[in-house]
Structure 1
Amino acid sequence: MTFAGLNVAKLLIDGQLVDAEGGATYENINPATEQSIGVAADASTGDINAAIAAARRAFDETSWSTDVAFRVRCLRQLHEALAKHAEPFKAMMTAEVGLPTKMVGSTFDMPVENVGWVTDLLEKYEFSQDLGLGNIEGFGAHRWTEREPYGVVGAIVPWNQPLQVALAKVAPALAAGNTVILKGPPTTPWCVSALGKLVAEYTDIPAGVFNVITSSANDRGEELITDPRVDLISFTGSTAVGRRIMELGAQTVKKCFLELGGKSPNIVFEDADLRTGIGMSTFMVCLHGGQGCATLSRLLLPRSIFEQGVQLASAMLSAMPYGDPLDPNNVMGPLNSARHRDRVEAMVDRAIASGATPVVGGRRPPQLETGYYFEPTLFADLPEDAEIVQNEVFGPVLVIQAFEDEDDAVRIANNTIFGLSGAVFSGDHEKSKRVARKIRAGTMIVDGGIYYGSDVPFGGYKQSGIGREMGTIGFEEYLQVKALCEPA
């Protein structure tokens, strides 16, 4: 199947758009209709091996890693090609991911802008830093550092935002001079396949520098992690899989950049604009069905206004428009797959079985018999150690917790294994900043400020990951530092 010329059933290996070994394919399912919209290439171990060999050869034997001006030119070509194919990409994201058309624009436009930003950074970036003269035991020396690419990067991206995350990894990795094998997610393979087509047909990126693999097997990425020819793994996904990657990567002492799960708190104090603060959480848990790692899925309210806040959140969630992602009025579409919908449903059912009662939602919507939908759901005042309070649901489920004072709010906010994001709302901006600094999280929304941007590093504390994506820091994740010294 094609979207305005974007062939989505091919792998990109060593500069060629090819079928998977033996012509193997698998069905790609539209989560809103539960129907196949076509097939994707189903890569084999042999295909993975060929992609790794091509990337290794391209790094070791071409000038890609050292020719900055050439890399700039190629990335400008990629940026232009993406912009020209905006509409077919957006249609593809709705068809295979389930993103509502109302939301799909920003989830394409901003990641594409990031490609341009990284290219601008590359054009002016200083890869060498002079450290001046030094003297040790009477021996004078001139010292400096140089930043060099790691080599072959294995980039493994998630199903919830495959293009956004792919570009956040691929653009800086290529800009830094690495070669890349991009492994797409099983349930949303087309966006990465289409990216491979653009690279092959609209850029001068040499054969082997960028390779794309799609597969129906989730564990196909393990072959990238264990292969000694791959120097760095960049992964976005669940914390459980992140732990597995660290375990496998340890076999070759491989650098692993991990952007993992979250259970992000939103602290709303009683002197805040409650509609704005509470609305941030109710909107985020419905945006893309709550299928986002930085979703503010825990709402923390003072005990003094708890019931008022629960009623307001309940009304907001009950009024949230959801359903067919092609309907421009809908904020929320389906969950991405039957398997994931069943997982979300099972977590909610376990909470109910343990004694919790949903304030709103808690089931598949009876009016939507087709599609992997789940109702916007609210739980309130559950025990802090409850599974649905502590663990990432990755669905449209909001949990409201009560706190007694500022210190209690900070304690509750930090009382999970995660530390990806968070928010604070109050009528005292200095108080909001003070509290935000106490939260162990990589990104914080302070009184409604939005952190997302090409120049802003994104990543987590604790078990939400290792390293940062985006910004100059994200670019430097793909560079090693070498210190050099010569006689003065």
Structure 2
Amino acid sequence: MPLRPVSSSDLLIDGKLAPGTGGTFDVRNPATEEVLGQAADATADDMDAAIAAARRAFDTTDWSRDHGFRARCLRQLRDALLAHGDEFRELAVAEVGCPTFLTSGPQFSGPVNDLGYFADLAESYEWTTDLGEAKPMGLKNTREVRFEAVGVVGAITPWNFPHQINFAKIGPALAAGCTVVLKPAPDTPWCAALVGKVIAEETDFPPGVINVVTSSDHALGAQLSTDPRVDLVSFTGSTATGKKVMAGAAETLKKVFLELGGKSAFIVLDDADIASACSMAAFNVVTHAGQGCAITTRLVVPREKLDEAITATKNALAGLPAGDPSDAGTICGPLISAVQRERVESYIALARSEGGTIEIGGGRPADRDKGYFVEPTLISGLDNSARVAQEEIFGPVLVIIAHDGDDDAIRIANDSPYGLSGAVWGTDPDRINKVVNGVRTGTMGINGGIWYSADVPFGGYKQSGIGREMGVAGFEEYLESKAVATPA
């Protein structure tokens, strides 16, 4: 079954592919600015129908109780998506602007294969825990705790890693027995819409279990937050929007999972190889043009080695120019839109106005007259109180900051409203461990260690969010516990 071209009939509601009642909206290639085609534009009525279908499927079918069937459907979906792998990878490069090499990892292959992990978990999870006998108030009872699906899940996802984040939500939610309404970002609707097409035509998911609603209207996400038929909202995006999601969910006291912003620190200790560490920091910040919440965007280096670190980082960035994402050697592709490019450029201008030095980059590539590109940029001369060191830029922009020892490096890393991720480079295990223990973030990489995997929980401290995604912890976000007692 060819997946392309994508028509406007892209909504998946109650097991059927149907056009959006709002017509269509354009899907644009961020590397060329060309219109690729149109996606279905859903309205509030379409979202209402999707929520009703998910509620009905949860309340009136055995989906939440048939663990083996759920596992089979998830494996069907994984296998069908992999069979269309070339088309999905091509789509990700065109619609997301992600470099080709990422489609073999978090931009497609990784998260699709992760569906198998959650299928296995649906079958192996201990759905009942025996607590044995006890005599509360002198009466002998046997007790157990049963784990059950939370219900209808509203999944609201961003544009930067659409496949990874879509599947990190729908995979564990479906494995846990929930039904789902997926609302993807307007910038990357096809990555979700084509998954809906595969679900409808090549799997045995019952009608209403998974619904995909694309729309140019951000208010449809708010509709998921406030609708009393939705039991949990899982949102990934900016901290500002996450606060609105949480406020909207409070009206019906529904559960929320929030994976929000980051301003992660890459700490280099004075016993580290400066060139190697700074090269890795440069590679991290330009990957997918810096459009990742967990990307390390503050490079915190020993003060006595600041000049050496600036030179090493500049040299590394010079070898990682922004380029065509379809080229195999490209690491830094375009930003997603003209709006996002203007945002990144405004932060670079702000850094200049605050007295910062643009060591390299700072503009648009001279060889790119089309596409939303920004040069990989290094900013020096500012301390951690500067806005470019405190606020999430979401572009290929690295701020280098000097520290005065390990304790000061930890202080700088923690001097942030965020606490999502981080990294440390050094050679002394005790000092490294002190940094790892001291930095308040959800993930830490040591000397290039990679924590991303289906079985690793991901999430942050402070304003980086609430809860964890992926791993057993992420799976359990979609469960409720029920204590059951029987007279012995």
Q: Which interval holds the TM-score relative to the shorter structure? A: over 0.9
State the secondary structure of the residue aligned to 2:132. strand
2:104 matches 1:120: no
* Whole-Å separation in 2 of the counterparts to 1:462 and 1:75: 33
SS of the residue corresponding to residue 485 of structure 1 reads strand
User: TM-score normalized by structure 2?
Assistant: 0.98
Name the SS of the counterpart of 2:300 in structure 1.
Answer: strand
- The aligned residue for residue 337 of structure 1 is 337
Counterpart residue identity of residue 45, structure 1 = A
Partner secondary structure for residue 297 of structure 1: strand
| 8 Å Cα contact 1:432-1:447 kept in structure 2 | no
Q: Helix, strand or coil for the counterpart of 1:126?
A: coil
Residue identity opposite 1:27 in structure 2? D
Query: What displacement does 1:276 show?
Result: 2.5
Q: Contact 1:7–1:197 at 8 Å: present in 2 too?
A: no
In 1, the alpha carbon distance for the partners of 2:201 and 2:429 equals: 51
1:100 maps to 2:99? yes
Structure 2 residue runs without a partner (length 5+): none
Residues 185-235 of structure 1: CA deviation (Å, up to 9, x unaligned): 101100000110111111111000100000112222001110000000001
Quick one: distance in 2 between partners of 1:450 and 1:7?
38
Aligned partners of 2:410 and 2:438 also within 8 Å? yes
Separation in structure 1 between the aligned mates of residue 276 and residue 476 of structure 2, nearest angstrom: 36
Give the SS at the match of 2:358. coil
The residue matched to 1:21 in structure 2 has which SS? Answer: coil
What is residue 254 of structure 1 aligned with on the other side? 254
1:264 and 1:272, CA in 2 relative to 1: closer, same or farther beyond 3 A? same
Match of 1:216 in 2: 216
Which structure 1 residue ranges, 4+ long, deviate > 4 Å from structure 2? 2-9
What is the CA-CA distance between 1:275 and the residue it aligns to?
2.5
Corresponding residue for 1:231?
231
Distance 1:272 1:7 in 2: 53
CA RMSD of aligned residues (A): 1.2
- Give CA deviations for 1:411-459 in whole Å, capped at 9, x if unaligned: 0010000000001111112321221111000000012211011110000
> Aligned-pair distance for 1:374?
0.3
- In structure 1, the partner of 2:85 is 86
CA contact (8 A) 1:290 1:394 kept: yes
Match of 1:37 in 2: 36
Which amino acid in the other structure matches residue 283 of structure 2? Answer: F
Q: Find the aligned partners of 2:17 and 2:205 in 1 and give their Cα distance.
A: 14
What SS does the aligned partner of 2:147 have? strand
Partner of 2:407: 407
Deviation per residue, 1:74-97 (Å, 9 max, x gap): 111111111101110000000110
Tell me which residue corresponds to 1:290: 290
Deviates more, 1:464-473 or 1:322-331: 322-331
Secondary structure at the aligned position of 1:407 is classed as helix
CA shift at 1:6, angstroms?
6.2
User: Alpha-carbon deviations, 1:55-77, whole Å to 9, x = none?
Assistant: 00000011101111111111111
Letter in 1 for 2:173: A
* Corresponding residue for residue 15 of structure 2: 15
Amino acid at match of 2:284: M
1:372-429 deviations in whole A, cap 9, x for unaligned? 0001011113032111000010000000110111111110010000000001111112
Letter in structure 2 aligned against 1:475: F
Find the aligned partners of 2:131 and 2:238 in 1 and give their Cα distance. 40
The one-letter code sitting in structure 1 at the alignment partner of 2:303 is R
The answer for the alignment partner of 1:111 in structure 2 is: 111
One-letter identity of the residue aligned with 1:35 = E
Written as runs of structure 1 = structure 2, the 5 A alignment for 1:344-359 is 344-359=344-359
> Residues 132-151 of structure 1: CA distance to partner in whole angstroms, max 9, x if unpaired?
11112211111110111111
Structure 1 segment 292-371 matched on structure 2, within 5 A = 292-371=292-371
Q: Give secondary structure in 1 for the equivalent of 2:366.
A: coil
Normalising by structure 1, report the TM-score: 0.98
Tell me what 2:69 maps to.
Answer: 70
CA contact (8 A) 2:351 2:379 kept: no
Instruction: Output the CA distance in 1 between the equivalents of 2:140 and 2:5.
Output: 62
Distance 1:340 1:390 in 2: 18
**Across the two proteins, how many residue pairs are aligned to each other?**
486
CA distance in 2, matches of 1:147, 1:103: 36
Shift of residue 3 of structure 1? 4.2
Distance across 1 between alignment mates of 2:322 and 2:396: 11
Instruction: Answer with 326-335 or 7-16: which moved more.
Output: 7-16
CA apart distance, 1:304: 1.1
Q: Secondary structure at the match of 1:252?
A: coil
Provide the secondary structure at the position in 2 that maps to 1:53. Answer: helix
How far is 1:350 from its partner?
Answer: 1.6
